[in-house]
Structure 1
Amino acid sequence: MCIPRSFIYPDGCPVNGWRPGDRRSGISRVGRGNERARQPRVSTSYAGPVTPEQISQSVRDVLAAACDAGEVTLPGGVPDDVTVERPRSREHGDYATNVAMQLAKQAGMPPRELAEVLARRLRDVAGVESADVAGPGFLNLTVAASAQGELAHTIVEAGQAYGHTETLRGTRMNVEFISANPTGPLHLGHVRWAAVGDAIARVLEAAGAEVTREFYVNDRGTQMDRFGASIMARAHGREAPEDGYHGEYITDLAQAILAARPEIITWPEAEQLAEFRERGYRLQLDEQRRQLDGFRTHFDVWFSERTLHESGKVDHGLDVLRQQGHLTEAEGALWMRTTDFGDDKDRVLVKRDGEYTYFASDTAYYVDKRERGFDVCLYLLGADHHGYVGRLKAMAACVGDDPEYNVEVLIGQLVKIMHAGQEMKLSKRAGTMITLGEVVDAAGVDALRYSLCRYPVDSSLTLDVEQITKQTSDNPVFYVQYAHARLSSILRNAAELGVERGELQAELLDHERESVLLAALAEFPRVVATAAEHREPHRIARYLEDTASTFHKFYDECRVLPRGDEDATATHRARLWLIDATRVVLANGLEMLGVSAPERM
């Protein structure tokens, strides 16, 4: 078997009949040419596991060999990717591909004839037990039990590295998924991105990318002075200005500052305002960081907007635009001609009074990211930022970049949190909106993170705290975590009984439930690669649920530990390898979502 290259499968990753997006393939509805009862697998000698990637590469290899032998002619050459899938029924083999149907026209051959040519060669591939042609030209492949069973050993040995790929190796990515004012607590509007943005970063890292998580601090503008004035007013026992900030947290900040510098209230008013503003800023930013750390969301960079202006980076950004020829002056203002690249209107960068716009800061910030060496700048924005997509991409084009590669924008829809039958809206502490910390306190980190990551971000979401925290099998996060805890318990029980795994006899893992579970575990790297490619961590969550279900079905039919005075057999030991491999996969998947994998529940 050849060593495969890394692959990203554009059509998604089928797992036990489930495919992200629920797109079904005709492959699963076509049986073998001659239906027959499935025979026990024949053990064949093989030194390593067979994975979907290896099967895909093997199909490409036999295509190339058939071309070299003159059996097949492909003017367009052998395709770079060959998609293999898991049929819904084991009667149709372990893997299937419709590559013969896709290439038949180019090869000038009937699909079944081309499939027969490939099947003859695939039968000689190490680890392939059989290759059959079905229907109009599907190729159904069955893997030798020893080859598939060896995967359990590979997973256990790989440990935390299993599921990681190199599909994005060499790519430096900046993921900016929270941009907030340091004038108050993080609120419900930040909760979704705090979970999903971090999960996206984890999945991208698992796919080999070098990722920097970045928090953009909106610390410039009149809101900072209003923030300082609000704290100063409370320090003097007055109400905050009408256009200021309200809530108990302002009083808490005032008291903390007075405790550290009681003499501040004797200073001239302008000096007081500056001191209350800067000390309040630092305290509130520390509180935001503390809340995010408690939610298992950690940022590598906290980037201050005002440093762009203080360091001259905004002017530098304008110089870059001038060099590219996309600045123009009109009506006394300085404009970026984003309409040159599809934006609905040109954007003002410097107003008539000489004041820089927010978009000038955004442009300078993007230029700074690119000059720090990031290949891809990924922005995760709220539902009210649809208009930013076109202008950000046009801005990237204006500075000379490829807007379809260097800039990505994901728009997340709103989340409602229900608690005790009521929507969580108002906060005693923040005064207006429920805070991230209050939501975490109500639902818990694991339940909240998993539930937020489980759905595509472009869909609105309502979560009920009572539903996502209940300990029943119809609660997905509990179901997956319970499966991990159950697997851990089996391994503990084995140790207490003195049953050791020993050397794996992979050919003994030939029960149908074992084969289905192994096939599910083999899909994990492809699921990760696809989740990374599409920036969709919900694929990981749905995969984990399917795999947990597959494990429970296996455990119901296959005894792992000996009963009573029974001696442990080689089959028991082989199944312990499979148990540990399944535990590794569930733990790794949960880690990619930032969710714990408990050993006891």
Structure 2
Amino acid sequence: MTPADLSRAVLHAVRRAVDEDALRAPVPARVRVERTRPGGRGDYACAVALQLARPAALPARDVAEIIRERVRGVPGIGMVEVTGPGFLNFSLLDGAHRIGALVRDIARSGQEYGHGHALAGTTVSFAPVEEARALVVTEVVERLLRAQGATVGARAAGGEALHVMPVPAADRDLFARLGDDAARWALLRAAPHDRPQDTGDEALLAQREGNPLFRVRYAHARTRALSRNARQLGFTAAYDAHEGLGGGARPGGAERADAVTDALAALLADHPDVLAAAARHREPDRVARQLEAIARAFFDFHDGAPPLPAGDEKPSAAHRSRLALAEAAGTVLAGGLSLLGISAPEVL
């Protein structure tokens, strides 16, 4: 993470705090970060809390804590401390340690990784609906809102109305034809203001790469198979930041292994923001598209930085680390499918 990246991360945290009404102050055009002076804490320091304290009518340390809460966990940022009258001090992580922190965070949160308090204090109720697609979308939006700390009331007249393109009359028997999982995907994958794409029953049920739902669920099942196969080979997942993930890569070498690893880790790190945006904008299709992207990145990672040893190769620290990242991807896929009300089988 560069100083410019850190500056943008802090500015984004300030903007989030203002959007969530946790901080009532103008969002600055830019945030300045500086190298910590000798004897200081961390790698970089920032005085934005002191700048915002007066317009926010809060002590600078309180402002700093509000920002700190929203910048913790950003990829590349390790420890965030508040010192003195309200300075924010940052210790940065290198790539390997950043991914290790991400893997531990996902393991600790499980399928609730990405759930949070972005909408805490918000109360939402929806108008009653009967049309099939509106029912499914409303149910999932309610689940997304609760996952972000919002309170969801009973559906009643006068509640918020979701503007959803209805399912054509010819598709009213969608659930009977496709089953619950494929029907829900068909209704949720398109943006609410768009009509669900008619790809035909065969495309939605086909167990092949061209079917996005199958690809997402197969990616999850593959992560679980990797864990089972690793146990049979006598090892389990254990992320080792000192050894990294690039050693012993297949043709393409460590450079490709690093690239596909970074791509997958970046999507996993973005997942909490995607869930918060899907809840805030009432758009569950954002979650479906995120899961598709994670599945694609996982298969690239699987091929470019294989978690299992090949042939007579012995399991190494790199394999254990890759397996830990693969398991993290599987956890995020399962959690996302659960929010959509779609099952995540361990075997396909």
- Could you tell me the TM-score, scaled by structure 1's length? 0.42
Please list the CA deviations of residues 346-402 of structure 1 after superposition, one character each: whole Å capped at 9, or x if unmatched: xxxxxxxxxxxxxxxx4xxx4xxxxxxxxxx323xxxxxxxxxxxxxxxxxxxxxxx
Q: 1:6 touches 1:165 (CA, 8 Å); kept in 2?
A: no
Please list the CA deviations of residues 312-332 of structure 1 after superposition, one character each: whole Å capped at 9, or x if unmatched: xxxxxxxxxxxxxxxxxxxxx
Partners of 2:104 and 2:33 in 1: CA distance: 28
Q: Which residue, out of 451, 455, 472, partners 2:190?
A: 455
Q: State the partner residue of 1:477.
A: 213
Q: Does 1:145 align with 2:110?
A: no
Aligned-residue offset at 1:67: 5.3
Partners of 1:213 and 1:494 in 2: CA distance: 47
Aligned-residue offset at 1:543: 0.7
Q: State the partner residue of 2:285.
A: 538
- Counterpart code for 1:493: N
- Counterpart code for 2:194: S
Query: Structure 1 residues 550 and 61, CA, compared in 2 at 3 Å: closer, same or farther?
Result: same
Q: Which residue, out of 316, 324, 341, partners 1:577?
A: 324
Q: How does 1:144-293 map to 2 (within 5 A)?
A: 144-179=95-130, 190-212=131-153, 214=155
Partners of 1:60 and 1:525 in 2: CA distance: 23
Give the length in aligned residue pairs.
287
Partners of 2:229 and 2:205 in 1: CA distance: 28
Aligned-residue offset at 1:582: 0.3
Q: Which has the larger radius of gyration?
A: 1
Aligned-residue offset at 1:76: 8.1
Partners of 1:560 and 1:66 in 2: CA distance: 40
SS of residue paired to 1:126? strand
Higher strand share: 1
- Counterpart code for 1:553: D
Aligned-residue offset at 1:460: 2.5
Q: How does 1:248-397 map to 2 (within 5 A)?
A: 362=157, 366=158, 377-379=159-161
Unaligned runs of 5+ in 2: 1-5, 20-29, 35-43, 57-62, 68-74, 77-86, 247-257
Aligned-residue offset at 1:172: 2.9
Partners of 1:485 and 1:66 in 2: CA distance: 44
Partners of 1:10 and 1:67 in 2: CA distance: 17
SS of residue paired to 2:293? helix
Query: Structure 1 residues 533 and 505, CA, compared in 2 at 3 Å: closer, same or farther?
Result: same
Q: 2:117 touches 2:149 (CA, 8 Å); kept in 1?
A: yes
Aligned-residue offset at 1:413: 1.5
- Counterpart code for 2:192: V
Q: State the partner residue of 1:414.
A: 166
Please list the CA deviations of residues 540-564 of structure 1 after superposition, one character each: whole Å capped at 9, or x if unmatched: 0011111111111111111211223
Query: Structure 1 residues 8 and 76, CA, compared in 2 at 3 Å: closer, same or farther?
Result: closer
Partners of 2:138 and 2:166 in 1: CA distance: 15
How big is the alpha-carbon RMSD for the aligned residues of Structure 1 and Structure 2? Answer: 4.0
- Counterpart code for 2:142: A
Please list the CA deviations of residues 259-300 of structure 1 after superposition, one character each: whole Å capped at 9, or x if unmatched: xxxxxxxxxxxxxxxxxxxxxxxxxxxxxxxxxxxxxxxxxx
Partners of 1:76 and 1:577 in 2: CA distance: 45
- Counterpart code for 1:416: P
SS of residue paired to 2:222? helix
Q: 1:485 touches 1:599 (CA, 8 Å); kept in 2?
A: yes
Aligned-residue offset at 1:462: 4.3
Partners of 1:554 and 1:574 in 2: CA distance: 12
- Counterpart code for 1:126: S
- Counterpart code for 1:210: T
Please list the CA deviations of residues 459-492 of structure 1 after superposition, one character each: whole Å capped at 9, or x if unmatched: 2334332322222222211111111111111111
SS of residue paired to 2:126? strand
- Counterpart code for 2:272: P
Q: 1:537 touches 1:593 (CA, 8 Å); kept in 2?
A: yes
Please list the CA deviations of residues 405-425 of structure 1 after superposition, one character each: whole Å capped at 9, or x if unmatched: xxxxx22123237xxxxx45x
Q: State the partner residue of 1:490.
A: 226
Partners of 1:206 and 1:73 in 2: CA distance: 30
Q: 1:506 touches 1:574 (CA, 8 Å); kept in 2?
A: no
- Counterpart code for 1:442: R
Q: Which residue, out of 313, 316, 321, partners 1:566?
A: 313
Query: Structure 1 residues 441 and 73, CA, compared in 2 at 3 Å: closer, same or farther?
Result: closer
- Counterpart code for 1:151: L
- Counterpart code for 1:544: L
Q: State the partner residue of 1:528.
A: 275
- Counterpart code for 1:154: D
Runs of 4+ in 1 over 6 A off after TM superposition: 1-7, 72-81
SS of residue paired to 1:533? helix
Partners of 2:326 and 2:153 in 1: CA distance: 35
Q: How does 1:500-519 map to 2 (within 5 A)?
A: 500-502=236-238, 504-505=240-241, 508-509=244-245, 511-519=258-266
Query: Structure 1 residues 154 and 74, CA, compared in 2 at 3 Å: closer, same or farther?
Result: closer
Partners of 1:125 and 1:144 in 2: CA distance: 16
- Counterpart code for 2:107: V
SS of residue paired to 1:559? coil
Partners of 1:204 and 1:474 in 2: CA distance: 31
Query: Structure 1 residues 506 and 541, CA, compared in 2 at 3 Å: closer, same or farther?
Result: farther
Partners of 1:6 and 1:589 in 2: CA distance: 27
Query: Structure 1 residues 213 and 66, CA, compared in 2 at 3 Å: closer, same or farther?
Result: closer
Partners of 1:412 and 1:543 in 2: CA distance: 20
